[in-house]
Amino acid sequence: MSLTVRSFLNLLKATPVTSNTVRIVCGNESADLDSVTSAISYAYFRFVENSKDAQPIIPIINITKDDLKLRRDIIHVLNDVNIDEDLLFFLDDVKQWQESNKTIEAVLVDHNEVVNEVKKYITKVVGVVDHHKDMGLYLDASPRIIQVCGSCTSLVYNYFVNEILPKSYQPGHDVTQLCLAAGLVDTTNFSHRVEHADSISKELYSKYAPDIDMDKYTKIIKNAKNDISGFTARDLLRKDYKQFEFSNTKGVHEGKLIMGISSIVKPMGWLYEEFGGRQGFKEECIRYREEKDIDILTIMTSFVQNGKFQRQMTLIPSDEVKSLAKDMISNIEEYLKLEKPDVGVMGNTSGTLVNDEEFQQYEQQNIEASRKQVAPSLEMAFQDL
């Protein structure tokens, strides 16, 4: 009987950190299913590889504990493998270690550049496993695996099962299920964004968790993810939020721009209905932008309506950057196929978008571009001003 992920996490919780150096493995700040399961499985596999390590590497979820309740897909998958939130480690824990003057060495999974809050705590990046664009940092990290593919868990799972652990090793059902769950969601049951690494991991998942009906499980997780009943507007804005710092080194707009992007899985019209109409929701957004103290809050909605997958984009700039936001849009409207809503005109799919300076709204016809593409394109749009 192999060690369960649950008993591994129990053991971590029962082992106080006594050394001066804490080693962590940390997912990205969106703390989506991929980040969470990549971090947990990386730490688990490392421990399996070397259980004699006095100070095992600790998986970190890059949000505060309080924010986990917004991610029902993650809670669902963790429950499926018998893990509850009290067994997890969060940003709060990292902060505490830093305050007690510990050196914090980090392996990054599902991102390859440390940004924002966690940056204050991490002393050194010692390893990277990621599926985003390579930022060219931490060149002496080991491992340093950066390969574009559907899910980061594919890279973590393949690395340990095929390369690091002995040939005779058979990964347990629970760790396999964790990685598979993220793979299913990130690739919509291995039908989108599938690269070689994902295909290899899929084979392994079928071998070590043959009982899981992949199609059914994808739907179950997506339903849990899309279940946002009972959430407030602020909950929805912070649920899947990423923050970026853009810099422009030339031209009239030389300087920095802080951009926050919230992804929401409902159309704007739905948000208006839930949260006091267009004006009511707009005020919530402005409040959130002020709370985060950023220049522009962008909301990217994605949803299926009339059998069609659709995206909308709304920029909520602070007073100082209203016209700059417009200029940025004109730099990328072609690429993202942004269309201004025609208010009241039949055929406008949403019927609810209105473009004003404080709340710049567009239909995004380039539905292939998710935040992963939109964020760098906004950055380029800013740099090209």
Residues of the shown chain interacting with Mn ion in the complex, contacts defined by CB under 5 A: 34, 110, 152
Closest contact distance (angstroms) between CB of 152 and Mn ion is 4
Closest contact distance (angstroms) between CB of 268 and Mn ion is 26
Long-range contacts of 116-121 (CB under 8 A, 24+ apart): 116/29, 116/243, 117/29, 117/91, 118/26, 118/29, 118/62, 118/91, 118/94, 121/94, 121/95, 121/97
Output DSSP code: residue 252: T
Q: Are 144 and 174 in contact (CB under 8 A)?
A: no
Closest contact distance (angstroms) between CB of 376 and Mn ion is 15
**Cα distance between residue 196 and residue 141, in whole Å:** 23
Query: Which CB sits closer to Mn ion, 22 or 152?
Result: 152
Query: Which CB sits closer to Mn ion, 201 or 314?
Result: 201
Closest contact distance (angstroms) between CB of 102 and Mn ion is 28
Query: Which CB sits closer to Mn ion, 291 or 368?
Result: 368
Torsion sign across C-alpha atoms 322, 344, 261, 371: negative
Can you list the alpha helix ranges (DSSP code H) found in 209-321? 214-226, 233-239, 268-274, 277-292
Query: Which CB sits closer to Mn ion, 13 or 192?
Result: 192
Residues in Cβ contact with 147 at an 8 Å cutoff, skipping those fewer than 6 apart = 131, 155, 195, 197
Tell me which residue has its CB nearest to Mn ion. 34
Query: Which CB sits closer to Mn ion, 38 or 318?
Result: 38
Closest contact distance (angstroms) between CB of 36 and Mn ion is 10
Query: Which CB sits closer to Mn ion, 175 or 185?
Result: 185
Closest contact distance (angstroms) between CB of 370 and Mn ion is 11
Q: HSE on the CB side for 354, CA within 13 Å?
A: 11
